[in-house]
Structure 1
Amino acid sequence: MSDPDALRLLGLLSAPDRLRALSALVLGAATGEEVAARTGMTGKEALQALERLERGGVAVREEGRWRPRPETLREAVSRASAARAEEPVPEGTGAEEAAVLRSFLREGRITALPVQRSKRLVVLDHVARAFEPGVRYREPEVNAVLRAFHSDHAALRRALVDEGFLDRDSTRYWRCGGTVDL
């Protein structure tokens, strides 16, 4: 999630007192006293948490009563999802492959290697495109390329070899599979 509002809201709700206060509002508390009673906070702590939630836009005070504003969270998630859908993918990538890449890559880096094999193959094929067919690479060169995609370059290299995207002998690696861009 890269949307600044979504990140701000995550930060706001990462404090346990504010999360408890918002939860109390969602469960029906409407006054500072009710929030304090439901959360185990003091009245002052509850009021501070509620005021911070109000400044963050996830709670509102109307006529002396508090209520949650879950629409603020939904809107932030919607904006973050829209931004994620706009992540660039290689030209000519099908809709299903693009969806997989958008799920597992952020700004060109792999966030997690998919467990499901079909999705893992899509991500590995994307990585394999960084290697020129017919060129032999030393291990440090392969590692340098793979570090651009993921911090665990050894696991990524192993997956590429195991799934047939790269092959190797005792000193060199080369691309032997995957989609070739024409």
Structure 2
Amino acid sequence: MDPDPDAAKLVGLLADDARLAVVAALVLGATDIASVAAATGRSQTEVALAARRLGRGGLVRRDGAGLELRAEVFAAAARSAGEHRPPPEPLSADPAADAVLQAFVHEGRLTSIPAHRAKRLVVLDHLVRVFEPGVRYPEREVNALLAVWHPDTAALRRYLVDEGLLSRDAGVYWRSGGTVEV
């Protein structure tokens, strides 16, 4: 196998039921074709063919009938995949705010509402940008906009009002604070 293993190739090797069963049996302590066959309920021929393919892929070392899983290949592939991943798009120009947002926002959704007030303020300032300054929103529309971010719309709405980012009167809300992009 390459010195820089490809995680996608490893996943492809394990996408076959027989090969996956062989790897599982080796992880659980099987050491040869016969013990893998006994552990998986597969024929020795099927195990030998799967082991040969895993060997060509660099996951299994064969010594006659003996088999050894090269677990270090998984770790190397994971490291390599992490190194080649592009950095996430910044959510804020401020590095400190971006660090908070990266911790709490994943794929455009809020994973949790920060308990620490300073972090919560950073997140709320980010969320309030969905509301246009000068526009009045009925509560139902506020809930719909906040539900895109997190299912607990009542908590988000309450935090936004309590922190002065939204104001409300008679069930109508409007943006009254937060950073405005020019």
Q: TM-score, normalised by structure 2?
A: 0.63
**How far apart in 2 are the matches of 1:18 and 1:168?**
62
Unpaired stretches in structure 1, ≥5 consecutive residues: none
**Partner in structure 2 of residue 73 of structure 1:** 78
Q: Contact (CA 8 Å) 2:125, 2:178: kept in 1 or not?
A: yes
Q: Secondary structure at the match of 2:130?
A: coil
Q: Deviations over 1:82-109 (max 9, x none)?
A: 34x323525xx21121222222222322
- In 2 relative to 1, CA 164–74 (structure 1 residues): closer, same or farther, beyond 3 Å? same
What percentage of aligned pairs have identical amino acids? 44
Q: Secondary structure at the match of 1:86?
A: coil
Code of the residue aligned with 2:171 in structure 1: it is T
- In 2 relative to 1, CA 65–18 (structure 1 residues): closer, same or farther, beyond 3 Å? closer
Q: Contact (CA 8 Å) 1:164, 1:176: kept in 2 or not?
A: yes
The CA RMSD measured in Å over matched residues stands at 3.8
- In 2 relative to 1, CA 23–122 (structure 1 residues): closer, same or farther, beyond 3 Å? farther
- In 2 relative to 1, CA 154–170 (structure 1 residues): closer, same or farther, beyond 3 Å? same
Q: TM-score, normalised by structure 1?
A: 0.63
Quote how far apart the aligned CAs of 1:18 are. 8.7
Q: Deviations over 1:27-66 (max 9, x none)?
A: xx58258x97xxxx93648x69x96xx49x7943243431
**Partner in structure 1 of residue 88 of structure 2:** 86
**How far apart in 2 are the matches of 1:19 and 1:158?**
51
**How far apart in 1 are the matches of 2:131 and 2:79?**
41
- In 2 relative to 1, CA 31–128 (structure 1 residues): closer, same or farther, beyond 3 Å? same
- In 2 relative to 1, CA 77–23 (structure 1 residues): closer, same or farther, beyond 3 Å? farther
